[in-house]
Amino acid sequence: MSFKLSSEKKFFNFYLKSEIAASILIITIGACFALFMPHMIAKGGMVQAQDFIRLSPIFFPRITFAVLSILGIVYLIQILKIKNEEQIEETLSKEIVQNVSIIFLFVTIYTFILPYLGYGIASIIMIFSLSYRLGNRIWWQLVLLSFFIPLTIRIIFERVLFIYLPRSHFEILGAWEDKIVKIFLNLFFII
């Protein structure tokens, strides 16, 4: 006799486990923050003000996290009462987990390389790889997209809206990027 779970059943178990894990996390965070809130207040501030208004900085956060913990328990009880698949509407498959994990990995790498490589170079790498991953296999489009989008963003946001974008820590890369931006800016003003 085989006890292999059907894919629906597997999904149901996975989803239920995720809900249980989320509720336990909510209960734990709520309880820990409520209990240890006095230790999470840095020394300083106006102690006289606290005496005067009788509302310490601990009061509100502590109540918030205590109620969060209680609601977490109610949430856990509700999940444990779920008995069949029909009560779960959400869909999650292996394909979704895989696709999302890969894109999230791209985003994470982009986050960490951006301050070192600078906005321009990091964005070129991110746009090229993300567009390729999402199905774009036309090379000239990939190159144009990954080159012109960061350039346009850099010109609009840095020169027009004065939003500072990180420059590469490596001087050679930074200098090249500046030169390219300058060339295109001059071209823009000539046009």
Partner 1 sequence: MLETFIQGMHLLLRWDIYFFIAAGLCIGMFVGAMPGLTTILALSVLLPVSFKLEPVLGIPFLVGLFKGGIYGGSIPAILVGIPGTAASIATTFEGPALTRKGHGRKALEMALFSSVSGDLISDIFTILLIGPIAIITLMIGPPEIFAIIFFSLVLIASISGDSGLKGAIAALIGLGLGFIGTDAATGSTRMTFGFMSLSAGIPLIPLVIGIFALPEILLAVESRAPRFVSQFIGYSNTGEKLRWKEFKSSIKTILRSTGIGTGIGMVPGVGQVVAAFVGYSAAKRASTHPETFGEGELDGIAAPEAANNAVNGPTMVPLLTLGIPGDTATAILLGAFVAHGMRPGPLIFQEQGPLLYAILMSMVIANILFVFLGYVLLKPFAIAIQIKKSYLIPIILALAFVGTLSTGDNSDLIIMLVVGFFAYILRKLNFDLAPLIIAFVLAEPVEYTLSQTMLYAKGSILQYIFVTRPISSAFLLSALIWILYRAMRSFSRKRT
164 backbone φψ class: left, alpha, beta (φ>0; ψ -120 to 50): beta
| Contact stretch for partner 1 (CB under 8 A) within 3-11, 119-127, 169-177, 182-190 | 119-127
Total residues in contact with partner 1, by rule CB under 8 A: 71
Q: Which of 11, 12, 72, 121 binds partner 1 (CB under 8 A)?
A: 72
Q: Which of 127, 167, 168, 177 binds partner 1 (CB under 8 A)?
A: 127
47 CB-near residues (< 8 Å, 6+ apart): none
| Cα Rg, the chain, nearest whole Å | 26
Asked if 104 is part of the footprint of partner 1 (rule: CB under 8 A), the reply reads yes
Q: Which of 24, 31, 82, 130 binds partner 1 (CB under 8 A)?
A: 130
Residue nearer to partner 1 on the CB measure, 116 or 188: 116
Q: Which of residues 39-68 bind partner 1 (CB under 8 A)?
A: 40-42, 44-47, 49-50, 52-57, 60-61, 64-65, 67-68
Is 118 exposed, middle or buried, given 0-12, 13-18 or 19+ CB atoms closer than 10 A?
Answer: buried
Asked if 86 is part of the footprint of partner 1 (rule: CB under 8 A), the reply reads no
Asked if 149 is part of the footprint of partner 1 (rule: CB under 8 A), the reply reads yes
- Helix 94-133 to helix 171-190 angle (10° resolution) is 70
Asked if 71 is part of the footprint of partner 1 (rule: CB under 8 A), the reply reads yes
DSSP conformation class of 166: P
Residue nearer to partner 1 on the CB measure, 166 or 174: 166
The upper half-sphere exposure of residue 90, i.e. CA atoms within 13 Å in the direction of its Cβ, equals: 10
Cβ of residue 149: shortest distance to partner 1, in angstroms? 6
Q: Shortest CA distance to 168 belongs to which of 129, 125, 116?
A: 116
